[in-house]
Every structure is written in C-alpha cells, then in structure tokens.
Structure 1
C-alpha cells in the first residue's frame, strides 16, 4: 500500500470508477488503471483530511479484511476487460445475484437486469420508429402486431429496406447503425420514452438529493451543515453537466436523418457523450440511497451520513469544472475539524458488522 497522496484528478479515468463493496472502509472506493495498465484502488483517507491510499488491486484483500461478497466482486473485476462504470456495474450485478450480500441485493440486481432487458427492447423499437419517421414512413402497424412477432419482424424488415433506399444505404448498414446506436443509448434512452432509462432516472434522483441536502444544510446548525452544503453544491455542478450532455444527445436524436446519414462523423461524438454521462453520474446512486435512508433516522445519524457521503463524494475532475472541488474540499476540512468514524477495529482486524449490514440493506434498495 502506497502512502497517503493528494487526490485531485484531472480526468474521469484518473478519478476511477466507484465499486459497491460492502466492507465499510472500502464502500464506494474507486478503481482505475495505473501507468502499467494494472488495476489499483483508491482508498479515502482513514483519518482527518483528504487524500487517498493507492493500493494495487491484487493486494487489496491483504491490506483490508473483506466480506465474502467483496472477495468475489474483487475477483470478478480482476477478470473483467476494463474498469469503466459500465464494466464495474456488470461485475457488481453478477456478484449481487449470488446472494452473498443478502436477499435484498439479489432482488435489486434481478430488477436492474430486467430493466436493462426492457430498455434494450424499447430503445431498439424507438430507434427503428425514428428511422422510419425520418424518411416519411409509418410505423404504427409494427406496434399493433408486435415488434417481436413473426409478422412484426417481416413488416419491420420491409419498411427498413424502404428506409435504407431513401437514405441511400444498404439495409445491413442501416440496421448496423441503429444497433450500434441502441447499445450506446440503452442506459440513457430517448427524451420521448414512456419509461425514462437508468441514467435519466439517476439524474432526476440526484436533483432530489441536491434539493434535500440543501434544505437540510440550511436548517441545520451542527458542524455537519457546511459539509452538507458542499455536498449539495457538488451535486448541483454534476447535475448541470449531466443536463448539458443529455441536451446534446437529445438534440442529436431530434435530427435523426442527419445522424444516420453522417454516422461516421457523428458516432464518435455520440459515444463520447454517452461515456461522459456515465462517468458524471458514477458513484451517486449509493450516496442518494444512503441519504434517503438517513432522513428516516435521528439528527445525529444524519450528521454521520453527511460525513460518510463527503468522504467518498464524486468530485468533478479538474478538466470538467471551473472550480477546483478538491481544493474547496480541503479548505472545508481545515476549517471544520472532525473525528472520522472507525470502520475497522485495527487492533483486531474485525469488520464493523452493523455497518456491513447497513451497507447491504442500502445495496438491496438499488435497482
């Protein structure tokens, strides 16, 4: 384990992706690739102040006691090809389905995967409809007979062949472009979707977190109030960036014919925007649920939750914001000294079982 270092990342990749460990000291720690393309984990400071301990991924189980679930998740991530938020989410859901984090986490993982399947079908249908509409073709008959039925599939093929002709594309090329776009947009969905996709829902929930935390910090006179206010500001900046990215994507979808015709030029832009939105919102779902749970408890528990959120809050990288949030966080700490909770009894190496159970409960609410 490397010594404590300052942590002021310039990019999302340098910030790393949050990992939903159930071991309290490791909950929402971040994983990234080092200069040799090896995984390493960033563990927030265990005492007063900011900064992180940088631990090689393979050494993590040796450096910290871990739950059985976390050892499995650790192994799944080590075997994965990448460490983007989407890569980590796949590993987290796979680990949760095994039941080692409790029945609630199993149910939440199954619900999330079912939602992914629904969104995959929905976005494919919507993009086909958009393609047909872009060239003046009606698609209502597909909806009537059902996209997945034999009749619906034949009707779709016939209409898509006509659409390809009008766009001066080969049918396979048109299908390929729509299929690739569907993969990129699956977690975001279209603005016109009857059921908002995962990242749109997450942005909405983050807006609620911002409003709730702002109200709490305004009405609170404890030492945690300025910290809560800072957390609300970070959420506000993140929401603003996310709203801009979604606006750009919605604008591109609104000019669908142009998007299809200029796919080779537009594709990198769409891919970059989708990836950026995923990175922007990474790590927030757990904190939103943590805060929602804290609001049902007493004021002292809420103060503790604010400190816990602050410890792992996803600060925007320097390249993303005009203000250096890492520097602002350091200033906040220096003016509001506090004692940080002990997640592990370092003399015995034992986990705080109550905290593990609390994290598993919150994990069970994620979807």
Structure 2
C-alpha cells in the first residue's frame, strides 16, 4: 500500500530496523494492531509515501541477506517494536557473527560501554544524593562504593537520609537504583562523561552545522536538500533539549524526587522513552553523511537524497503549537525530494551498497560505544 506518511505518534512512525539489505536500509517496524508486526519502507516507487508490508511478507518481497533473515526472525519472535527492544536484538544478532567480525567487536564494545555508563550514572546519582541530603559532608569514591566497607558506610548514610524522607532504607536504595538504570542512556548533566543519547544529541548538533555549511558552500544542492535536513535536525534538537531538560530537573531537586518517587519515577521513565524514540535512526543518518564527507560531490548529493527519504520525523503529537506550521512547511518541502530506488524493479542485490551499509551499522554501534 502506497500512502502519505506523516506520523502522529512515535509508535505510528515505527522503530528503525538496522537491516543490511540495501532495499531495507532505514525501514521501520511497528505493531500492526493485531498482535503482530509490519514493516514501513519509504519511497519504493519514488512517491512521497511509503510501503507498508506485513512482517511475514518481507521475505517474499525482498532478497534478504543471511544476517537479515535471522534478524527478521528474532524480531518477530521478540515482537521488538521499541528502540530499546530493537537495540537488544541488534546486539544479539551482531554477536552471532552473521554480519562479520567488525559487527561482533562493535556490539561487544557497545554492551560494555552501556554497562559502564549505567554504573557511572549510579555512582554520580548516589554521590549527589549523599552530598545534597546527608547531614555530614561526605564524598564517596568509585573504589569506596565498590568495597564492602564502603557499601556499609553508604548504607549508614542512606539510613539517615531515608529517615528524613520518611521511607525505608531498602526503598531508598531501590528507588536510586531504578532511577540510575532509567537515565543511564543520558546520564546526569554534571557528569564529565556524556552518555549515549546525550552524546548523540551532541553529534546531531555538529551534523546540523556541517550539513548547513555544506549547503551554503556547495553548488550541487540547488533544491536546498541540505537546509531541509538541517531544519529537521534543528526541530529534533529543540524537542530533545526540552525532554532531557525535564529529566535533568528531577536530578536538581532530589528531595522532591525521592519523596514522591511513585509519581516522579513514571515521569522520568516516560521522558526516557520519548527521548529514545525521538533520536531513533539519527545515528545511522549521521554515519551515512560522515561516510561521504571525504568523497566526491555527487556522492554527497546522493547521500543527502537518501537521508531526506529516511529522515526520523518528529511526530505531530510531540510538537508544540508554535512548531506546527514550521513542520507542515517541511512536509510540503520534502515531498518533491523523494527519489526512486534505482534497483527496486530489477531485484538485483547491490553488493557494494550492502557492504557499505554493514560498515555503517558497525561504525554507528562503535561510535555509541
């Protein structure tokens, strides 16, 4: 079915599936509303819409790599339709080696980095709680927190804080642990290390500046593709800063957050879900652009055309009223830029393109690590 595609919600937009088959690059998976999944593939016929195909029909329509067939089956089994679930599946399938040793190495590093960032976030959150709410002036080191003596010391301090908050020590510990697990992808603003999604926001900001400069200095972009992409990136950054700011605000008011964790915890969880959805797909867009920065002008133009077709659109539900018209203007501008996929009718596999996609997937995973 060819249809105009402008999502109202993240769930309608779907989650990017990191397939390596060229025709499925940047395809998105979403629930079909009947307990199954469907896939959204942009612009197969060169129109401004997308094709929506039932999950079981993907194998019939596309010639998929061995990696993608196994990935397809895993996603169907897990019913993976969120960024978090898809990321877990992508790591697991990469570890099988079906996409090569580089993907295994990238997945291992990404998993290790995520665990390190979770522990680091927990350390800074615990220290913030102790520094802000403890009656004594105490600062805990990483080594101290990991030792039996240090943990005993922390429990003593936390007992006093829990008493002041009128909660049990066990509940306070559990709430802080849950909090740090939830926000690990963004970390805490005061941390010297940027965690994965905060790091992706920084990369997106740099990408927007770079593609804007390219548009101004290039004679290969008479249609203004670069500025269209930059505008979408800017709107994403604006929404993303608001979401991360709301998450950070809770860390700046620890007493209120911990005293009302039942409500605050849900707000933080909802905010983290939204920022994960918002940034879904941008890492691959950035990798695609970085892959051609040192290439020929026509390669950069081609990359921009591909990016425009596959931009991670901010759903209308996420936009403030004053951004609605701007986003409508972007929709109208983008419609004329959608280009056909040259080999769609032939069904031939472009091996060189597939290898480039596989390399970009590994590089994107490694960059997140």
- TM-score category by the smaller chain? over 0.9
Structure 1's unaligned 5+ residue stretches are none
User: What residue is the counterpart of 1:185 in the other structure?
Assistant: 183
Are 2:113 and 1:111 aligned? no
Instruction: Tell me if structure 2 keeps the 8 A contact 1:72–1:95.
Output: yes
Instruction: Tell me if structure 1 keeps the 8 A contact 2:220–2:298.
Output: no
Deviations 1:111-135 (A, max 9, x none): 1111111011111112211222232
Shift of 1:190: 0.1
Instruction: Tell me if structure 1 keeps the 8 A contact 2:38–2:55.
Output: yes
User: What residue is the counterpart of 1:293 in the other structure?
Assistant: 291
Deviations 1:19-74 (A, max 9, x none): 11111111111111122132111011123221111111122112111111111211
Residues in 2 aligned to 1:362 and 1:139: alpha-carbon distance in whole angstroms:
48
Instruction: Tell me if structure 1 keeps the 8 A contact 2:94–2:107.
Output: yes
User: What residue is the counterpart of 2:9 in the other structure?
Assistant: 11
State the TM-score, normalizing by the size of structure 1.
0.93
Residues in 2 aligned to 1:81 and 1:32: alpha-carbon distance in whole angstroms:
9
Structure 2's unaligned 5+ residue stretches are none
Deviations 1:131-170 (A, max 9, x none): 2223235575631743222222222222222221121111
User: What residue is the counterpart of 1:128 in the other structure?
Assistant: 126
Deviations 1:317-354 (A, max 9, x none): 122231374763444443x5x7534245x44x331100
Instruction: Tell me if structure 2 keeps the 8 A contact 1:214–1:228.
Output: yes
User: What residue is the counterpart of 2:279 in the other structure?
Assistant: 281
User: What residue is the counterpart of 1:50 in the other structure?
Assistant: 48
Residues in 2 aligned to 1:50 and 1:339: alpha-carbon distance in whole angstroms:
8
Are 2:335 and 1:328 aligned? no
Distance 1:314 1:141, change over 3 A: closer
Residue of structure 2 aligned with 1:209, choices 199, 207, 210: 207
Residues in 2 aligned to 1:39 and 1:290: alpha-carbon distance in whole angstroms:
27
Secondary structure of the corresponding residue to residue 287 of structure 1: helix
Residues in 1 aligned to 2:276 and 2:250: alpha-carbon distance in whole angstroms:
18
Residues in 1 aligned to 2:88 and 2:142: alpha-carbon distance in whole angstroms:
34
User: What residue is the counterpart of 1:318 in the other structure?
Assistant: 316
Tell me how many residue pairs correspond in the alignment. 361
Secondary structure of the corresponding residue to residue 146 of structure 2: coil
User: CA RMSD of the aligned region, Å?
Assistant: 1.9
User: What residue is the counterpart of 2:141 in the other structure?
Assistant: 143
Distance 1:42 1:18, change over 3 A: same
Distance 1:145 1:312, change over 3 A: closer
User: What residue is the counterpart of 1:220 in the other structure?
Assistant: 218
Instruction: Tell me if structure 1 keeps the 8 A contact 2:43–2:339.
Output: no
User: What residue is the counterpart of 1:342 in the other structure?
Assistant: 342
Deviations 1:273-306 (A, max 9, x none): 1111111111000110110111110100001100
Instruction: Tell me if structure 2 keeps the 8 A contact 1:8–1:317.
Output: yes
Instruction: Tell me if structure 2 keeps the 8 A contact 1:315–1:325.
Output: no
User: What residue is the counterpart of 1:40 in the other structure?
Assistant: 38
Distance 1:19 1:343, change over 3 A: farther
Instruction: Tell me if structure 2 keeps the 8 A contact 1:290–1:305.
Output: yes
Distance 1:150 1:81, change over 3 A: farther
Distance 1:281 1:58, change over 3 A: same
Instruction: Tell me if structure 1 keeps the 8 A contact 2:158–2:169.
Output: yes
User: What residue is the counterpart of 2:83 in the other structure?
Assistant: 85
Residues in 2 aligned to 1:300 and 1:54: alpha-carbon distance in whole angstroms:
30
Secondary structure of the corresponding residue to residue 134 of structure 2: coil
State the TM-score, normalizing by the size of structure 2.
0.92
Shift of 1:18: 0.7
Are 2:304 and 1:306 aligned? yes
Residues in 1 aligned to 2:22 and 2:42: alpha-carbon distance in whole angstroms:
12
